[in-house]
Chains A and B, each alone.
Chain A
Amino acid sequence: MRRLLVALSRAYAFITIRGYKVWASYRTQVALNVVNWVIPLFIYYFMGVAFHLLKYTPDYLGFITVGIAFQGYFSSAITTLAGRIRNEELIGTLEYYIAAPLSPLSLMAYSSLWGLAINAVPTALTLAVGAALGVRFAVDPLSAAAVLALYIASSLGLNLIAGAVVLIVKQGNPVALFASVASNLLGGTVFPVSALPPWLRYVSYALPLTWGLDGLRAAMLSAAPIPAIAQYIAPLAALAAAYLGVGVALTRYAYYKIMREGTVAMY
C-alpha cells in the first residue's frame, strides 16, 4: 500500500509540479501549443477539399484524423522526454535526480509521464475536431485499448532511447527528431504506406507507428474486433518488446556512463 502511495505521489510530482506547473508558467508557449495542436488537421482537411480527395475517398478524413491524432502523440511524446532530460541538464536538477534513490529506469519512466499526459490533450482535440468535420467513428473499445497500450509501450521504448542519447551526447534530441520526422513520412500518417516505393515500405514496417495507426484506424473507424486486427497487434507487440528492451538497456548504460565519466552536471 505504501509503495503504491509513493508511486502515485511521484507520478503526481512529475506530472503536476514538474510538468504542468512549469509548462503553464510560460503562457505564450501554452497559447501557441494549443494552436499548433490542431493546425495540421485543418491543413490536410483543406488539401482534401482543394484536391477533391474527400469526394473521391470519403474515408480520407477519418484516415488523416486518426493518423494525425496518434502520430502527434507518438512524436511529441518522444521529443518531450528528450527535451525534458536536456532541460534538467541545463537547469541543474539532473544531479539531484541522480542523487535521489531512484533506479535509472524509474527516473526515466517518471520523466516520461508528463509527455504522455500532455500529448493526450492534442490527440483528444484532433479527434474532436475530426468528428466536428464529419468523421464517423465506429469504435471497438477493446481493440482500440489493446492497440493503444502496445503503441504507448513502443513509444515509451523509443522515449527511453531518445532520453538515453541526450544523457550521453549532451545535445538536443537527434533520435527524437529523427523519429518525429521519419514517422511523418514513413508511418502512414496522411497517406497509406502502400503508396511508398517497395524498398521504403520495408523501412516503415520497423516503425510501431505504421502498425499502430493501421490498427487504430481499424478499431476506431470500422469497429474491428481483436481477431480482425491481429495482423497489426502481433508486429506491434514484437516492436514494443524490442524497443523497450533496447531502451531499458541503453538507459542503464547511459546512466552509469555519465556517473563514471563525471558528466552528470555537464551540458
Chain B
Amino acid sequence: MSVIVEGVSKRFGRIMALEGVSLSARRGEAVALIGPNGAGKTTLLKLMAGILLPDEGSVLVNGYPAHTPKAKERVGFMTPQDRGVYWRVSALDNLVFFGALYGMTLREARRRAREVLEAVGLWERAHDRVASFSTGMMRRLELARALMHDPDVLLLDEPTSGIDIDAKAVILKRISELGRERLVVLASHDPAEVGIATRVIHLNKTIIAESKAPKLLKVLVKGDVSALDGRFKVRPTGEGEAVVELGVDQFDEFAAVYASLRGRIKAVDMEVVVAYAAGGNARLQWRREGRRWDL
C-alpha cells in the first residue's frame, strides 16, 4: 500500500499552490506535512484524497489514480473544520450513512460503527444527536468516520485543531497506533501532532526539506517558570521569558502542567527542531511566525 506523488503542480487562478511536488510514502509511515499557511499542505492532502485533480503530474494510491473509485476505497480523509457530519442525526446514523457510501452493507456498517465509536471513546453517545457534541467529541467522530471503511491510507488535516488537551491525547494516541499498520499523512501546525510522525516534510509550494521525526520542541514562555524546573529543561532568556526544551514525547506532559498552572505562565512562541534526513548534522527550524500559541 502506497501513495506516490509525481511532479504534481496545482494552481488556483493566479495562485500557484504546489509546484513540481514529488514524494512517496508507504505502510507503517506517519508523514507530517508542515509549513506556513498557504504552503499547499491541504491542497496536497486533497489531491491524495482524490477530491482535487492536479494540473500537472500524477497522484497514485495503491497504483490507481487518486480520483478513481478504486483508489478512494482505501483512503480515509478528515478535514479541519467542524463540518462534514449531519448534526441533526445521531453519531451512529452518521457513521452508518458514510459506511454505506463506502460500499458497506447496513449490517457491516452498524457493526463497524460500534467498533470505531468504541475506539474513539464515543460509544456511550452513539445514539445522541451530533448537535449535542463538544468540539472534541466532534473531532473524534470525524476520525471515526475516516476509519469506518478500515482504510489503508489515512489523510488527516489538523486532526486535533481546536480541541482540549484530554481529547487531543485520545485522538493522537489512536492515530499513533493506526500509523503502525497504515500509512498516515497529516498536515499540521501543532507540535503534538507533528510529534507522532516518523517523517516530516517541510512544504512551501514545493518540498523544501524532508527529515526524520522531530527531535525537539522549543517553547518560549513568559511568567513564573519555576514550576517547570526539574521536569523540563528551562533556559531563561531575560525579561521574564524562558525557553523550555522538551522531547516530542514530553509534549502531553508539558501541556498538562501548563494547563494546571492556570495562567501563571504563557506560551508565546514555539519551534519544532528536526534533523535533515539527508544533510549530515544540518538542522531545520520551523517557526510559527508571529502567532501566539494558546493551549
Which residues of A are at the interface with B, using a C-beta cutoff of 8 A? 2, 5-6, 9-10, 12-13, 17-18, 21-22, 25-26, 91-93, 95-103, 256, 259-262, 264-265
CB pair A101 B73 closer than 8 Å: yes
Residue among B51, B53, B55, B89 making CB contact with A21, cutoff 8 Å:
B89
- Give the contacts of B98-130 with A (CB-CB under 8 A): 98, 100-106, 109, 129
Chain A CB within 8 A of B50 CB: yes
Nearest chain B CB to A9 CB, angstrom units: 5
Nearest chain A CB to B153 CB, angstrom units: 12
Chain B residue nearest to A96 (CB atoms) is B84
CB pair B96 A25 closer than 8 Å: no
CB pair A100 B105 closer than 8 Å: no
A interface footprint on B56-85 (CB within 8 Å = 1, 0 otherwise): 000000000001011011010101010111
CB pair A262 B46 closer than 8 Å: yes
CB pair B104 A100 closer than 8 Å: no
3 smallest A-B Cβ distances: which pairs? A92-B83, A101-B69, A13-B100
Residue among A10, A92, A99 making CB contact with B50, cutoff 8 Å:
A99
CB pair A99 B89 closer than 8 Å: no
Residue among B55, B83, B97 making CB contact with A17, cutoff 8 Å:
B97
Residue among B17, B72, B86, B96 making CB contact with A99, cutoff 8 Å:
B72
Residues of A within 8 A of B101 (CB): 10, 13, 96-97, 100, 102
How far, in whole Å, are A10 and B106 apart by their CA atoms in the complex? 8
Chain A residue nearest to B100 (CB atoms) is A13
CB pair B75 A17 closer than 8 Å: no
Residues of B within 8 A of A256 (CB): 53
Residues of A within 8 A of B67 (CB): 259
Nearest chain B CB to A192 CB, angstrom units: 44
Chain A CB within 8 A of B93 CB: yes
How far, in whole Å, are A262 and B50 apart by their CA atoms in the complex? 11
Given A95-B84, A103-B69, A21:B102 Cβ within 8 A:
no
CB pair A100 B93 closer than 8 Å: no
Residues of A within 8 A of B102 (CB): 100-101
Residues of B within 8 A of A264 (CB): 51-52
Chain A residue nearest to B76 (CB atoms) is A99
Residue among A91, A92, A259 making CB contact with B51, cutoff 8 Å:
A259
Nearest chain A CB to B57 CB, angstrom units: 14
- Counting chain B residues whose Cβ lies within 8 A of the other chain, the interface size class is 35 or more
CB pair A102 B100 closer than 8 Å: no
Chain A CB within 8 A of B211 CB: no
How far, in whole Å, are A264 and B84 apart by their CA atoms in the complex? 12
Residue among B53, B81, B97, B104 making CB contact with A260, cutoff 8 Å:
B53
Given A95-B79, A96-B77, A17:B96 Cβ within 8 A:
yes
Nearest chain B CB to A89 CB, angstrom units: 10
Chain A residue nearest to B43 (CB atoms) is A262
How far, in whole Å, are A262 and B102 apart by their CA atoms in the complex? 22
Chain A residue nearest to B46 (CB atoms) is A262
Chain A CB within 8 A of B274 CB: no
How far, in whole Å, are A132 and B89 apart by their CA atoms in the complex? 37
Nearest chain B CB to A34 CB, angstrom units: 19
Residues of A within 8 A of B89 (CB): 17, 21-22, 25
Residues of B within 8 A of A102 (CB): 69, 101
Residues of A within 8 A of B96 (CB): 13, 17
Chain B residue nearest to A97 (CB atoms) is B101
CB pair B106 A95 closer than 8 Å: no
Identify which of B73, B100, B103 gathers the most chain A CB atoms within 10 Å of its CB.
Answer: B100
Chain A CB within 8 A of B49 CB: yes
Identify which of B55, B97, B109 gathers the most chain A CB atoms within 10 Å of its CB.
Answer: B97
CB pair A9 B86 closer than 8 Å: no
Nearest chain A CB to B160 CB, angstrom units: 18
Residues of A within 8 A of B100 (CB): 6, 9-10, 12-13
CB pair A95 B51 closer than 8 Å: yes
CB pair B93 A17 closer than 8 Å: yes
CB pair A262 B52 closer than 8 Å: yes
Nearest chain B CB to A106 CB, angstrom units: 9
CB pair B51 A25 closer than 8 Å: no
How far, in whole Å, are A169 and B75 apart by their CA atoms in the complex? 29
CB pair B106 A22 closer than 8 Å: no
Identify which of A2, A5, A256, A262 gathers the most chain B CB atoms within 10 Å of its CB.
Answer: A262
Residues of B within 8 A of A98 (CB): 50-51
Residues of A within 8 A of B17 (CB): 262
Given A13-B96, A95-B51, A101-B72, A6:B103 Cβ within 8 A:
yes
Chain A residue nearest to B86 (CB atoms) is A22
| Sample (5) of A-B pairs whose CB atoms are under 8 Å apart | A13-B96, A98-B50, A259-B51, A262-B17, A262-B43
Residues of B within 8 A of A5 (CB): 105
Residues of B within 8 A of A259 (CB): 51-53, 67
Residues of A within 8 A of B55 (CB): 260
Chain B residue nearest to A103 (CB atoms) is B69
Identify which of A17, A21, A22, A99 gathers the most chain B CB atoms within 10 Å of its CB.
Answer: A99
Residues of A within 8 A of B49 (CB): 99
Residues of B within 8 A of A261 (CB): 12
Nearest chain B CB to A131 CB, angstrom units: 35
